[in-house]
Structure 1
Amino acid sequence: MIIMSEREFDFIIFGANGNTGKHVLRNLVKWLELEKKPRWIAIAGHHKSQLKVALTQVAIQMDRNLNDVSLIVVDFNDESNLTTICARSKVILNAYGQLNLLEREKLAKACIEKRTHMLDMTDEPDYLDLLQLKYHEAAKASGVYLITSINSNCVPIDLGVDYLKQQFLPAGRLHSTESYLSFQLTNQLNHHHPQQLSRSQTLQHFNSNLIKSIVSSNFRRDINNISKYGEINNNDDSNDNNSISSHSPWISSSSPSSGLFSSLLSFKSINRSPTQSLIKCFPRKNKELSSWSIPINSDNIVWKSQQWFYQAYREPATRFNQHLIVSQWPQIILIVFILIYLTLLTWFTFSRKLLNVYPSIMTLGYLSNSKDTEEKQINGFIHGDDDNSSSSSSLSSSSSSSSSSFSIHLVGNGWDSPSDSSDGQYKFPPNKTMRVSISGCKSDSEITSLILIQSGLTLLEESSSMPYKGGCLTPAFAFRYTSLRDRLNQRGLEFKILHH
């Protein structure tokens, strides 16, 4: 058996030649200099020449000698190559955006075989289901953590909902959570005068942060995507849903298919007419924030964490709904048309397939098959740089240009006392409201790199505080009893309880 302390590297960054991968490398080097604790890192990718270019870019930008960073060539068609690489590291930080399901599965198998932890930034629903259903027990038996959705879209909201939930525990219980998401551009040279988003900028942000998850959740049951994995079926959540929701009549479980578009796909099963479903696309005045909001797809990762909390601790799930805050009517009108258009596409089998196979054509370039392409679009919009550029100036300029700023406002309603019923059910409506704010002032890639790095360090240092001693888990469930949220809070991703 390979002893973890004998590994050659503490971290191997997969996909280090991509935009997010370069951010991870740069910020990890910075952190290790501050930490002043000897750790060894390597970067891995398909082509050694691209890895050399990425390493040179980061070295020039940081004015550092990075010759001690090893370069490793990955071949996903050679499983022995993957197992050899995994055997050399304690933790794999997977920043790849373009891996297909089969390649990701091969990497997961190699990590389990060689007892190597992996943190993966992907949040593709099919991959999450595959890991949980097929590899959780094997990972648990090997003492290996495979944790997905380690990115700026999932971790803030996942940790935030659990943070809100803990404000009600242990005496009370959280019943429902409403999430309000907003964006703006901030000039890093003058933080006191944030720039207003133009119409095209709003659409770019909307595309980068929301449309991808909305469309991918619609295809989570697509037989063309998962037919090769017979273990995944349409009933995989039914038992858990029933067990969770039956715990209390006030707790109505919010499954991955309960969001806007997934509800539209299944309107027949819930006796909702197409007209009623389309009405959900329209904005409504939000009293909580005194602004207009549009309902969007509920986050799949939040629901999966709720399942884990119920299974491990018998904590009833919280209802969860998301809303996009939009301040200007031209933006609202444009986004509503996008929602209606995508909704109509998802109603029919042939149009869903076209949207899945040709997303760029069907959405006039706002979607693509490549997550890296989306990152190039949003970072080109924010920073004005080209991810494929081999010049160091593109990297350097990104630190002095405008960055995106996001804010998530969570409102939780629940009870401030235990149920007095023997079956745990409440006889009266929720009587307590708590609010949590989550905010960050960096680009998606910067925040994702921060989360990957701090999650990796937490995993190395606090694995004894994590559940099951291994398994394929979600961020909130895996890191609840660690210092991850505090680490992020101290480094630019702020979680704050609002008292009002």
Structure 2
Amino acid sequence: MSKMTRDLDVIVFGATGFTGKHCLPLIEKFSKKLQLKWGVAGRSEQKLKEFLGQCEKQTGTSLEKVPIIVANVQDEETLREMARKARIIINCCGPYRFFGEPVVKACVEEGTHHVDVSGEPQYMETMQLKYHSKAQEKGIYIISACGFDSIPSDLGVIFLQKKFNGTLNSVTTFMEAWEEDGATAGSAVNYGTWESAVYGLGFANELRTLRTQLFPTRLPSFKPKLPLKTVPHKNDLVEGWVLPFLGSDKSVIRRTQRLFYEKDSKRPVQVETYFILKSFMSVIGMMILGLIFSILAKFEFGRNLLLKYPEKFSFGFFSRDPPSEERIAKARFSVTLYGEGWKETLPDANDEYTTPPNKAIAAKVKGKNPGYGATCVCLVLAALTVITETDKMPPGGGVYPPGYAFAKTSLIEQLDQNEVNFEVLFEKDLPASKY
């Protein structure tokens, strides 16, 4: 990272957006504890001043002296000036497909660390392809997916690997979100998530070409292979119906595991991701929604309809109006992880086992308010970990997914102390008859 003198440790870019607003009280809390200096950035100085005034009432702390930086994603020089002022930028300006790269580019050019909450595989993998080497030259870290997408699942797998005494072969994840009053938690999710999903699916064909460039060498096919169950089904670990989860978690975890194999010579863990619905009627509704969504997202006219009328096309799960504080406060989530592997460890990552897996482990990651509470806790603590535990990060800098970036840091322990809890459910031997 650049050795130039920087006025601030952290800048929250897009601080008046919905995610940025929920980050500020956390930044104030943790920065005070660590004695770090922070500032806010965005397009409107007036809006930033007004929001800091609102935040003062919430935190009970005077924020009058918090630096305000005016920066715009359409003005490269303002982004570079912002990046020069801090050790790390917390970027809350999405969708990252359209607004993410200019901020990353400015950070790389100015030798500044960068984290964001993107759940967009095309953006994340493009940034890795274009900027990984440049980030290494500057000794900085560019880390996406530092929110609900995908720290609970990616670091959840890391948590299993640390707790599993042996070799972990595969992990299946089951994500569930709900509200305390029993309503769906979808209504507590910001419109930006819907927008990212529309463009992500609409341009999913870009991923094949991108991944051919990013990952020219295929990983070995380790056995036994973890199958993907495409039809709704039940699982003894969770209550409800289980369906494949089409979010970014799987692609993020697979990038982490590929890095462990290529850089650390560790056997990569296979992964499949699912989500849970309580009733079969919900399953039918979700399948209808999924069909309509997948067809419309492929065409510009259809994408415009999806973006204009999210309430109608999501059965009320999403809205263009920001969710109320009351609704998001009721939101809860859990990610249950089940892994299988062997008690024994073979000398080489490419060695094949001659016996079926003989050991299983299960864990759960859970927390409150996945859209803004847990997401902002994950994002802020990830950013602070980058600048306070740089010696425990992958050597030399680079563009990384969170699991690989934070595997050797204390981030899991920090999250566990701040309402994103990690716990082992059980660890047991598998009977030989299982296979």
Deviation at 1:17, TM superposition (A): 0.5
Question: 1: distance between equivalents of 2:215 and 2:3?
Answer: 40
Contact 1:463 1:469 (C-alpha < 8 Å) held by counterparts: no
Give 5+ residue unaligned stretches, structure 1.
Answer: 187-194, 261-279, 368-372, 385-397
Deviation at 1:497, TM superposition (A): 0.9
Question: 2: distance between equivalents of 1:441 and 1:430?
Answer: 34
> Are 1:470 and 2:397 an aligned pair?
yes
Q: Specify which of 317, 323, 327 is matched with residue 379 of structure 1.
A: 323
Contact 2:239 2:278 (C-alpha < 8 Å) held by counterparts: no
> Are 1:74 and 2:65 an aligned pair?
no
Provide closer, same or farther for how the CA distance between residues 47 and 221 of structure 1 changes in structure 2, counting only shifts above 3 A. Answer: same
- 1:13 counterpart letter in structure 2: V
Q: Specify which of 114, 121, 129 is matched with residue 118 of structure 1.
A: 114
SS of aligned partner of 1:448: helix
How many equivalent residue pairs?
423
Question: 1: distance between equivalents of 2:237 and 2:294?
Answer: 27
Partner of 1:408: 335
Partner of 1:196: 182
Contact 1:16 1:44 (C-alpha < 8 Å) held by counterparts: yes
Deviation at 1:136, TM superposition (A): 0.2
* CA deviations over 1:31-88 (Å, ceiling 9, x no partner): 234x1x4321110001112112211111122232211111111133332222121111
SS of aligned partner of 1:130: helix
Deviation at 1:383, TM superposition (A): 2.0
Provide closer, same or farther for how the CA distance between residues 213 and 80 of structure 1 changes in structure 2, counting only shifts above 3 A. Answer: closer
Partner of 2:62: 65
Contact 2:141 2:400 (C-alpha < 8 Å) held by counterparts: yes
SS of aligned partner of 1:424: coil
* CA deviations over 1:234-253 (Å, ceiling 9, x no partner): 6236634x2x234x33356x
Q: Specify which of 420, 423, 434 is matched with residue 493 of structure 1.
A: 420
Partner of 1:250: 224
- 2:393 counterpart letter in structure 1: M
Q: Specify which of 435, 439, 460 is matched with residue 366 of structure 2.
A: 439
> Are 1:359 and 2:306 an aligned pair?
yes
Question: 1: distance between equivalents of 2:337 and 2:100?
Answer: 33
SS of aligned partner of 1:430: coil
Partner of 2:24: 25
Partner of 1:291: 240
Provide closer, same or farther for how the CA distance between residues 132 and 238 of structure 1 changes in structure 2, counting only shifts above 3 A. Answer: closer
Contact 1:250 1:426 (C-alpha < 8 Å) held by counterparts: no
Provide closer, same or farther for how the CA distance between residues 334 and 204 of structure 1 changes in structure 2, counting only shifts above 3 A. Answer: farther
> Are 1:323 and 2:274 an aligned pair?
yes
SS of aligned partner of 2:187: helix
Q: Specify which of 306, 310, 331 is matched with residue 257 of structure 2.
A: 306
* CA deviations over 1:285-328 (Å, ceiling 9, x no partner): 22232532222226221111112111111223222222222223
Deviation at 1:283, TM superposition (A): 2.2
Deviation at 1:100, TM superposition (A): 4.7
Question: 2: distance between equivalents of 1:406 and 1:153?
Answer: 12
Contact 1:19 1:376 (C-alpha < 8 Å) held by counterparts: no
Partner of 1:106: 102
Q: Specify which of 52, 57, 70 is matched with residue 55 of structure 1.
A: 52
Provide closer, same or farther for how the CA distance between residues 135 and 297 of structure 1 changes in structure 2, counting only shifts above 3 A. Answer: same
Provide closer, same or farther for how the CA distance between residues 19 and 343 of structure 1 changes in structure 2, counting only shifts above 3 A. Answer: closer
Partner of 1:264: none
Provide closer, same or farther for how the CA distance between residues 38 and 312 of structure 1 changes in structure 2, counting only shifts above 3 A. Answer: same
Q: What is the Cα-based RMSD across aligned positions, in Å?
A: 3.1
SS of aligned partner of 1:429: coil
Deviation at 1:166, TM superposition (A): 2.8
